[in-house]
Amino acid sequence: MKRIFVPCVAGAALLLTLGLVAHLPMQIGSHAVAQTRLIAAQNPDAGGDPLVMLSDRYESVANKVMPAVVSIEAIKPPRLVGSKTTKPVEESGSGVIVKSDVKAGYYVITNNHVVSQSKPEQITVQLQDGRVFRPTVVNADPESDLAILTIDSPQALPTATLGNSDNARVGRLVLAIGSPFGLSQSVTHGIISARDRGQVTLGNAIRIKEFLQTDAAINPGSSGGPLVDMTGEVIGINTAIASHNGSNSGVAFSIPSNLVRKVMNQLIQQGAVQRGYLGMQLALSFDPNEAMRLGLDRVRGALVEKVFPATPAADAGLVMSDVILQLENIPIRNENHLINLISSLTPGQRVRLQVWRNRDSTALNAVVGDWAKAQARFRTDEQ
């Protein structure tokens, strides 16, 4: 059966599924046991059953974060499909209110695909207490699928804290909060299943991908909602699911909070995100047979398929079939890892690349280019 990756945005309709409910004996996995013991150790005066203490922690974290979680309705304008014009579409998603390190005010973090093409007056943000706002400014970064909505409020608003996603280790307990199928303030739980998931296809516009993977139940309408650790800090923004039918299958993806913070601050300060580039096309897959043919002892690095002329990659001397093994002192896992690293660099920065070529390792120096200027140039060349 074909697997599809689905952005978690919902239409206006509420979907109900009727079926059998099986009551099974409850089993607690080793990760949950370990973390309940940790919680008990941190709360020696609480006493009682570790399961009750874990339940209390879930409740405490949910109560701490839920007031800052919002439901979002966005009206998408009509589109021309063939010779016909579609009707406006209302889509729903989720978001979370935070404060920024770079500018005072209240900001709602959500996914770009929730609000893309919608004007501020077509977007409604509703809080847990029922208050409703329209954003005064909408800044978006399609390449990371993030959008930041500026909210003006004369009264104080509840906010959540962006945590350090580097601490989101595999096996850690998490809560996902959002509005699946329009059911606002829904809370589910799970663990961090994996880190640094990049080989996830979400359309051509989304280029920066280093997702946290979780088995917390996430469904259409959950897009933009927070993934929260057991300290009550936001460590991810829920974005997509891998599914055969468009609903939760236990494989969901969240944008890590450290990337969210970086994108948010740049959008607030300058309205856009500055990214570096080198100017090459990388192989989407690099299998063991190809690695062995090139003389590598394992699958690692990013395989260069094409180098575009008059780019930093060409100036550095990169050629087709090179395998980039290292950027400065960072070993490259795969092509997506390299894209993320180069994108995070400042244009004009000099970097050293370790490259595998002709069954030997060589070093090259490159000067990072400006991705925004490169895109404008490539569009001009195509015309």
Read off the pLDDT of residues 74-129 as tens digits, 9 standing for 90 and up.
998 887 777 788 888 888 999 999 999 999 999 999 999 999 999 999 999 999 99
Position 9 pLDDT exceeds 70: no
Q: Which of 238, 256, 273 is the last residue of a domain?
A: 273
pLDDT value of position 3? 45
Position 236 pLDDT exceeds 60: yes
Separation between Cα atoms, residue 149 and residue 120, nearest integer Å: 9
What tokens appear for 382 in the block?
A: 């195509």
Average pLDDT, the chain: 84
Separation between Cα atoms, residue 175 and residue 58, nearest integer Å: 8
Both 263 and 281 in one domain: the answer is: no
Residue 71 designated active-site: no
Question: Active site residue: 92, 94, 113, 243, which one?
Answer: 113
Residue 113 designated active-site: yes
Separation between Cα atoms, residue 127 and residue 311, nearest integer Å: 47
Domain assignment present for residue 15? The answer is: no
pLDDT bin (cut points 50, 70, 90) of residue 47 is: low
Domain assignment present for residue 209? The answer is: yes
Question: Active site residue: 71, 144, 145, 189, which one?
Answer: 145
pLDDT bin (cut points 50, 70, 90) of residue 14 is: very low
Read off the pLDDT of residues 193-228 as tens digits, 9 standing for 90 and up.
999 887 676 666 677 788 999 999 888 889 999 999
Both 152 and 214 in one domain: the answer is: yes
Both 258 and 282 in one domain: the answer is: no
Q: Which of 210, 244, 273 is the last residue of a domain?
A: 273
Both 269 and 282 in one domain: the answer is: no
DSSP letter assigned to residue 171: T
Domain assignment present for residue 36? The answer is: no
Domain assignment present for residue 191? The answer is: yes
pLDDT value of position 77? 85
Residue 223 designated active-site: yes
Both 104 and 203 in one domain: the answer is: yes
Both 107 and 195 in one domain: the answer is: yes
Read off the pLDDT of residues 141-162 as tens digits, 9 standing for 90 and up.
999 999 999 999 999 999 999 9
The bridge status of strand 173-178 relative to strand 226-228 is antiparallel
Segment 258-284 shows an average pLDDT of 93
CA-based end-to-end distance of the chain: 40
Domain assignment present for residue 34? The answer is: no
Domain assignment present for residue 31? The answer is: no
Both 325 and 375 in one domain: the answer is: yes
Q: Can you give the CATH number for the domain in which 282 is found?
A: 2.30.42.10
Quick one: which of 266, 202, 180 has its CA closest to 6?
202
DSSP letter assigned to residue 131: -
Question: Active site residue: 165, 179, 223, 243, which one?
Answer: 223
Q: Which of 273, 295, 310 is the last residue of a domain?
A: 273
Burial 215-248 (b: 16+ CB within 10 A, else e): bbbbbbbbbbbbbbbbebbbbbbbbbbbbeeebb
Range of the domain at 151: 1-10+42-273
Domain assignment present for residue 130? The answer is: yes
Mark out the alpha helices in the chain (DSSP H runs): 30-42, 50-65, 112-115, 257-270, 288-293, 312-316, 335-343, 371-382
The burial class, CB within 10 Å (0-12 / 13-18 / 19+), for 104 is: exposed
In single-letter form, the type of residue at position 91 comes to: E
Q: What does pTM read for this prediction?
A: 0.81
Percentage, residues of the chain above pLDDT 70: 83
Both 248 and 198 in one domain: the answer is: yes
pLDDT value of position 370? 92
Total domains present in the chain: 2
